[in-house]
A and B are shown apart, each in its own frame.
Chain A
Amino acid sequence: MDLVVQIMFGVTGLLILGAAFMVVSVRNIIHAALWLIACFFGIAMLYLLLQAEFLAVVQVLLYIGAVAVLVLFAVMLTRQIDDPEEPVLFQRWRSTLLIAAILFSAVLVPTIYNHNWLIFTDPQPAFAGPRELGFAFMNAYLLPFQIAAVLLLAALVGAIIIAMEDQEQRRTRVLTLAEEIALRREQEPSPPTRLANPHPASSMSSNPTPPPTPEQAGEGT
């Protein structure tokens, strides 16, 4: 059984390294994003080998299902940004690689040799189970957990403000719909001809189907 695990570890490691190499060396940026997904998969497999199946599932859910998809989404929406004439590696890449490798190993090598690794000879079934992680988040690490949550919330609010803000006229806060309408009335007495959002999906039709009133969509409680 140990040999099987070691072989699997080797294969997984090769997959991760190969995929990671492809991410930085492939010319097509979409292909790079797809290789990144392969790399995330490999890491999920490593978690599985460590018997941290909750972490593995969360890795798949968050990194592949959300992060990688958003990366792909953003990349596809941007215009062609890679220039086929430009070389992938710039001129002094060897010295850069050397410096990076030295710095990285300066951190990693002492850590590996000096750290007191917690290695179990027998499997520890519930070592990183959801229950243990939940208790840890809600007891020992409550403050870091909350700080991270507030940070994410701030990022969310920031994204909304950027998305809602009028480009030419930066406001201090997001207006409600009524305020927005009042403001527009004030600015231009006649209905504006400029469409605020020329998005293909939301093309204005003269006869829009009514949005789902909640009564229609989910009846009763």
Chain B
Amino acid sequence: MYDVVDFLLNTQLGLNSPDWVVMLISHLIVVGMLFVVAPLQVLFLTYYERRAIARMQDRVGPNRVGYEGLLQPIADGVKMFTKEDIVPESADKRVHLLAPIVTAAPVMYMFAVLPWGPNMIAVDLPTGLLFFFAISSISTVGLLMAGWASNNKFALLGAMRAVAQVVSYEIPALLSLLFAVMFAGSMSLMAIVEAQGGLFISTTDVPSVPDLGLGWFVFTPVGFLAFVCFFIAALAEGERTPFDIPEADSEIVAGYMTEYSGMKFALFYLAQYILNFLLCAITATIFFGGWQGPGVAWLVNQSLSADNPAGNPVYNVLAGMLGTFYLLAKTYTFFFVMVALRGAFPRLRIDQLMNFGWKFLIPLTMINILSAALWLAITRWGTAQGFSIIEFAGEPGNLVRWVIAFAVTLVINVAAYWFLARLNVQDHVARQAALAAGWLAVSPPRSA
């Protein structure tokens, strides 16, 4: 973007504007685009979810406003804007006002590090992945503020549940993403996506494979287990249905949102849907190659860049469009999975949620990190690292090494999954027996 603005202002118009003006304008354009995209996404996503869930429940869903109800989100928006803003009399007014802002603003920041296509990223932070989750954890503070400031039991309960859930599921989410940092050798999301070129085998593992943009991390046993763990943790972080305990409408009205109306409520709603979209997008980025796909690498090679001054700028645009298309297609697929899960599963109890997170997901992700380390050792190490035994399999980045790594990590991960699943089932059976005999009141997750 910087180059384009620089070219337009200084070369074409001859304004000779200083560096920081170009920087400011280019960033403003990017930020403006993202801020327009995000709410439009959400409008579309709410409609999409309502229609899909209606299909699963054998209903029609919104179909009156516009063609097949396509304008329903706009009608909803108008309704939200014109609603009366009610603040409870005993509420803490300032905190009540601040809470939706503190919840929604960090979510918008998360767009900053999301790569949309080749070279299409607002800021390519070297710590992008960590930034993504650090910023998302600020939303938690907003939830607590909302719950507390409303001065309502249901709101406070909802906030407590939300925080207990988000804080404990952040751990498996981050632990399961660690493997991608190890594989790519960087926390920059762009580097993680670029490491996923290839054809079912990443080009960083075996450089000689053809680059069709299909070397997604999910095709390795390590990546697959991490994907399953991360997606479950993401459901819990986005408060999606199997884990929508914080706003369980049959128990605590609407949780922390109970005392909010009008635009403040809409902000919570917006924040939640953007967060869900972003969690799907980050799943696509880290496990499914983000903008990588057949054809993107070829288009990038044809395009104009510093390395390739003979390229055609049309290919830059085409590469960007194809990359964005791949990313959005993957993201919407995951969003559909989220919606389908909402239609298919009942809500968990909070103690079940905690048990599942701490006793199953966290140990599993830790074992997965061990597998990831083994993977790296087998595919890339040699005598230099004191690992000369493995050199019989050939050069680092050899296909044989890749196969060995695949087999070893597959065995470890399947064994870990099987063992932990059995352990948890046994625990569950013992618990149920104890409950049936009346020896034990519900399991003791007192921290919850």
Interface of A toward B, CB cutoff 8 Å: 1, 28, 30-31, 34, 37, 53-54, 57-58, 60-61, 64-66, 68-70, 72-73, 76-77, 129-130, 163-164, 177-178, 180-181, 184-185, 191-192, 195-197, 199-204, 208-209, 211-221
Indicate if the CB atoms of B356 and A57 lie closer than 8 Å.
Answer: no
Indicate if the CB atoms of A202 and B148 lie closer than 8 Å.
Answer: no
**Taking the nearest CB of chain B, how far is it from the CB of A118, in angstroms?**
21
Q: Which stretch in B52-60, B65-73, B394-402, B414-422 binds the other chain?
A: B414-422
Indicate if the CB atoms of A60 and B134 lie closer than 8 Å.
Answer: yes
Chain A residue, CB-CB nearest to B149? A30
The docked-state distance in angstroms from the alpha carbon of A37 to that of B98 is: 13
30 residue pairs A–B, Cβ–Cβ below 8 Å: A1-B20, A54-B130, A57-B130, A58-B130, A60-B134, A61-B130, A65-B138, A65-B167, A69-B140, A69-B144, A72-B148, A73-B160, A73-B163, A77-B160, A177-B430, A177-B434, A197-B446, A199-B446, A201-B448, A202-B445, A209-B347, A209-B352, A212-B242, A213-B425, A214-B421, A214-B424, A214-B425, A216-B345, A217-B360, A221-B414
Q: Is B22 an interface residue (CB 8 A)?
A: no
Indicate if the CB atoms of A212 and B356 lie closer than 8 Å.
Answer: yes
Q: Are A211 and B352 CB-contacts (below 8 A) given A30-B148, A69-B141, A196-B440?
A: yes
Q: Which stretch in B222-230, B278-286, B293-301 binds the other chain?
A: B222-230
Interface SS of A by simple majority: helix
Indicate if the CB atoms of B420 and A163 lie closer than 8 Å.
Answer: no
Residues of chain B lying within 8 A (CB to CB) of residue A54: 126-127, 130
Indicate if the CB atoms of B138 and A130 lie closer than 8 Å.
Answer: no
Q: Are A212 and B137 CB-contacts (below 8 A) given A177-B430, A197-B442?
A: no
The docked-state distance in angstroms from the alpha carbon of A184 to that of B224 is: 43
**A53, A69, A177, A211, most chain B CB atoms within 10 A:** A211
Residues of chain A lying within 8 A (CB to CB) of residue B163: 69, 72-73
Indicate if the CB atoms of B145 and A218 lie closer than 8 Å.
Answer: no
Indicate if the CB atoms of A197 and B441 lie closer than 8 Å.
Answer: yes
**Taking the nearest CB of chain B, how far is it from the CB of A60, in angstroms?**
4
Indicate if the CB atoms of B137 and A76 lie closer than 8 Å.
Answer: no
The docked-state distance in angstroms from the alpha carbon of A184 to that of B229 is: 36
Residues of chain A lying within 8 A (CB to CB) of residue B79: none
Q: Is B443 an interface residue (CB 8 A)?
A: yes
The docked-state distance in angstroms from the alpha carbon of A214 to that of B170 is: 19
